[in-house]
Amino acid sequence: MDPYRNRELSWLDFNERVLQEAEDDRNPLLERLKFLAIFSSNLDEFYRVRVAGLRSLGHVSERKKQKLGYAPDALVLEIQRQVDLLQARFGRVFRETVLPGLLHAGIPLLSPHELGAPSRLERIEAALPDNLDIWTESGDCAPPFLKDGETVLVCLRSGSIWDDVDPRGGELCMCRLAFPDMTRFIHFSDGAFCFVDDAVRMVLSRRERGMEMPDMWAVKLSRDADLHLEDEFTADLAKLIRKSLKNRETGRPTRLLYDGHMPQVVLNRVLELLHVDTLDAQLGGRYHNFSDFFGILDRGHDSLRNKPLPPLPHPVLSQQDSLVARIREADRLLHVPHQSYAPVVELLRNVATRKDVEEIRMTVYRVSSDSEIIGALCTAACHGKRVFVFVELKARFDEASNLSVMDRLREAGAVVETSRPGIKVHAKLVHIRFSEGSGRDVALVSTGNFNEKTARLYDDVTLFTARPEITADVGRVFNHLEQNAPFPLTSKLLVAPNELRRGFMREVHALQSAAREGRHARMMLKMNSLEDPGLIDALYDASADGVQVDLIVRGICCLRAGVPGLSENICVISILDRFLEHARVYVFECAGQETVYMASADWMTRNMNRRIEVAVPVLDHELATSLKNWLELQLSDNVKARTLKEDRYNQFVNKTGMTPAVRAQIARYEELAGLSEGETKASG
């Protein structure tokens, strides 16, 4: 048995867990629909990036394929097989649960045959353009070029000259389904709504001679979304990215998703016309682009949603007029989305105009559009503060946003540095330097991006500190980013790519030594992805020496847990719930002593070797204990946790006997809600 699960198949296991949330009848109806949208969006990106990469490897030499350790085309076929099974489950929950549920709730999603009433036809005709963009086989124009993510309706017009396409006869036509200033849905006054796809089906059957609704099928094309930037670029990176972004929608086809009712002979013709390989044809349902369901029913229907969990005010950091003083008193921990993200924004607003602040430095990976944080940095620059920002232009799918941020900051007078060859800056850092004699510097170290919007959805923690040993280390990292100084030697921070792997390996080896001496040794590791073979091997070795290894992994997990002779002492769970688990927290326990780290990095080769990442030790005992207890709480989840043990992979961890139900995300929220104003440290 291969000691490692395949990365791509492990990602599909993760997306299956997303699908499980759509299947889970404990979730309200619109939440289940939301998870269908997430599943669809995830799969689109997977094909645009990961499968695109695999397909490009199909053309390398046999020698290089042997180095890979797998056959790319064979892996693509296995991916297709597993995706087919997931798509079948996806279609089943949509047809058998979501559609009946919407009907019962009085917001029916209408089928094409329910659109014939005069009032509905009038609304449809008013919504759609008078002239639909239709391509016909008998016309003089070349077939339409489909951009990445574009969907068209493939139709057969009967009674034409092209009679040998299908046993029923017919001319092949394609109608685009993207319309300016229109959403994917048409809403009616009685609360019902329909897909634009079905509205077009109805209109075509009425306007176009020989077109019947049963002979219309939707297909969607995904393309390679990688910008394929050379690592050792010498030209202006921003200029190169601006140029490459224009080509993203026209990359190599990676998947054609098609309606399973489409006759094979028609599918073959479509593949030929669109220049798509048969291997890239993926069986789908009648409708594609389920990510369009995001926000479709955002208002009303509260009974069909989760009960709101409004962000809680932090018991200490919510006092905006004394933020710096409160941070200098003691380290503070902010846990979003349970707690409000306002303290991060307010701190930067506060220091932007303080006379004793000389410099603000920050890393940017992904920020929200119209970011208040970027606005605060611009204000600081306008008030004469020195503002330095490292903007990572290679953050996938945020390149255009980050180019805009770069321009905005420079216009305000900030100093901006951008990406470097062969490495990404993924660390989440802020350093605020005060004038001499004005008090200690302040730093923020976070597991998540400085992004107000994702802070309402992503489960992350941010450390606010004025400890000189930490702020000095953060300053050294910024000196390296700004001046391209030698890689910093830090006293407390573990910084990739030089020290992060070695630091974690030291912690693991120390636990191994303790376990061999008969002392208690345990680690609790919470991350998004576990993929690095060297670190996985270290966990296997620790397990063999008697170290208890408890892992909480949201996404990719290439480690095999609970395998006799390999990983008996390793337990892995994965939690999917209301918030996206995004924090990275690492706890190492040895005979009653604990070391707790927060980090920007997962245990992936790219994070250890090809990114600048930071792990910060949590030196405040009460905060460290709070994080440890949080991980213990997650490990006790028996409502939304799944086991990733080999013999019960992706099965829910069910409570047994009289054991109380534990839903970790809700329990953590209730714990933070119960803190009083005086509980300054236990709050985080």
User: Rounded CA gap, 408 and 374, in Å?
Assistant: 8
Question: Distance of CA 372 to CAs 176, 400, 439, 451, 452, Å?
Answer: 38, 18, 26, 9, 8
User: Rounded CA gap, 451 and 371, in Å?
Assistant: 7
> Of 426, 431, 520, 582, which residue is the catalytic one?
426
Instruction: For residue 548, give the 3-state DSSP assignment.
Output: strand
CA dihedral 438, 440, 441, 444 (to 10 degrees): -130
Bridge partners of residue 109, in order along the sequence: 193
Cβ within 8 Å of residue 642, ≥6 positions away: 17, 20, 573, 574, 575, 576, 650, 651, 652, 653
The count of other CB atoms within 10 Å of the CB of residue 70 is 15
Instruction: For residue 173, give the 3-state DSSP assignment.
Output: strand
The count of other CB atoms within 10 Å of the CB of residue 74 is 11
Cβ within 8 Å of residue 514, ≥6 positions away: 520, 521, 547, 590, 591
Q: Are 187 and 193 in contact (CB under 8 A)?
A: yes
DSSP calls for 437-456 = TS---EEEEESS-S-TTGGG
**Element housing 217 (H / E):** strand 211-223
Sign, CA torsion 334/337/339/344? positive
Q: Are 229 and 252 in contact (CB under 8 A)?
A: no
Bridge partners of residue 350, in order along the sequence: none
Q: Are 246 and 228 in contact (CB under 8 A)?
A: no
Tokens of 74: 């064979």
Q: Are 259 and 217 in contact (CB under 8 A)?
A: yes
Tokens of 394: 């290679």
Does the active-site annotation cover 275?
A: no
User: Rounded CA gap, 116 and 469, in Å?
Assistant: 72
**Which strands sit side by side in the sheet containing 109-110, from one edge to the other?**
109-110, 193-195, 185-187
Cβ within 8 Å of residue 641, ≥6 positions away: 573, 574, 575, 634, 635, 652, 653, 664
The count of other CB atoms within 10 Å of the CB of residue 623 is 23
Cβ within 8 Å of residue 251, ≥6 positions away: 52, 148, 223, 224, 225, 226
Question: Distance of CA 500 to CAs 97, 265, 365, Å?
Answer: 47, 55, 19
Beta strands (DSSP E) in 20-167 are 109-110, 134-136, 151-157
Q: Are 339 and 461 in contact (CB under 8 A)?
A: no
**Element housing 284 (H / E):** strand 281-284
Residues shown for the chain: 684
User: Rounded CA gap, 73 and 53, in Å?
Assistant: 11
Residues identified as active-site:
426
